């Protein structure tokens, strides 16, 4: 790393967030590690960090966490939007409340935290907003992921638009698309399944739930290595606008590119014939 920075990390009480905070601390940075329970965050990460309460679904928490970070360290150089939940199930069986919870935690909450940080970064004339998306934000042909994918696709569009808005202020943005990493996202504490309500899905529901449950703890990706990759990204000048995390993430992106190209070619003539006649 080129110099000491102040990092603010959401969702630092478990999973990737813990590894991100540990790596930044070990590299000599100041770390504001946030979560719904700051005591649990401090216990999970260890000594040396500044643990602050931040439930991303509570707008006031974001503003208070940024204020506390500034009072302690004077600035925020790197924001890592990491907090997320997984409400799994067929779209028809997910309740409106489950979908709203997903969007609140995975999309709107990240927006609110970023909105609270941006005035500080503009005043500094520098900053880096890193948002943890997913391969489900690039392509989602997997059952049970409709709400999660909707939130991650939303993150993608928001971050792409944000990038051009804040670039004139010296602020960079990076979207990170992890594949399957061995975190707690699929644990009982982090995943909630829709209640069965549509008989037409009965034959498929059980095997799908079993497959998702069996995936937990077997994912190929190492969160500690992703944390080190994040340190590398944050040190690059300029940092990348996107980072595909994992060989499976690269495969997903390459298939998405191929699918888009096939869609273009399948109706190229029709697509290009839609302008007013000269």
- Catalytic machinery residues: 133, 148, 152
Within the chain, residue ranges assigned H as helices are 16-26, 38-45, 59-73, 96-103, 109-124, 146-166, 202-215, 223-235, 247-266, 268-271
Whole-angstrom distance, CA of residue 102 vs CA of residue 185: 13
In this structure, are strands 86-88 and 242-245 parallel, antiparallel, or unpaired?
A: unpaired
Residues in CB range of 178: below 8 A, 6 or more apart: 16, 132, 133, 134, 135, 221, 226, 245, 246, 249
Element (H, E) at 47: none
Residues in CB range of 205: below 8 A, 6 or more apart: 90, 196
């Amino acid at each position: 790393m080129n110099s000491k920075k102040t990092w603010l990390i959401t969702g630092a009480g478990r999973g990737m967030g813990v590894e991100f905070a540990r790596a930044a601390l070990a590299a000599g940075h100041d770390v504001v590690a946030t979560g719904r329970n700051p005591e649990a965050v401090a216990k999970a990460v260890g000594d040396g960090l500044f643990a602050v309460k931040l439930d991303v679904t509570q707008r006031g928490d974001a503003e208070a966490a940024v204020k506390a970070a500034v009072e302690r360290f004077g600035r925020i150089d790197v924001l890592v939007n990491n907090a997320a939940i997984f409400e799994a199930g067929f779209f028809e069986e997910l309740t409106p409340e489950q979908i709203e919870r997903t969007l609140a935690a995975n999309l709107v909450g990240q927006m609110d935290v970023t909105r609270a940080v941006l005035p500080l970064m503009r005043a500094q004339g520098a900053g880096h907003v890193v948002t943890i998306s997913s391969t489900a934000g690039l392509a989602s042909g997997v059952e049970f992921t409709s709400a999660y994918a909707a939130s991650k696709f939303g993150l993608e569009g928001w971050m792409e638009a944000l990038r051009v808005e804040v670039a004139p202020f010296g602020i960079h943005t990076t979207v990170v698309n992890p594949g399957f990493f061995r975190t707690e996202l699929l644990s009982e504490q982090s995943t909630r399944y829709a209640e069965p309500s549509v008989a037409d899905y009965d034959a498929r529901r059980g095997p799908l739930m079993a497959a998702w449950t069996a995936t937990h703890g077997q994912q190929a990706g190492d969160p500690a290595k992703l944390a080190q990759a994040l340190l590398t990204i944050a040190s690059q000048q300029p940092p990348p606008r996107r980072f595909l995390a994992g060989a499976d993430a690269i495969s997903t992106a390459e298939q998405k590119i191929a699918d888009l190209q096939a869609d273009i070619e399948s109706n190229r003539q029709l697509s290009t014939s839609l302008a007013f006649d000269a």
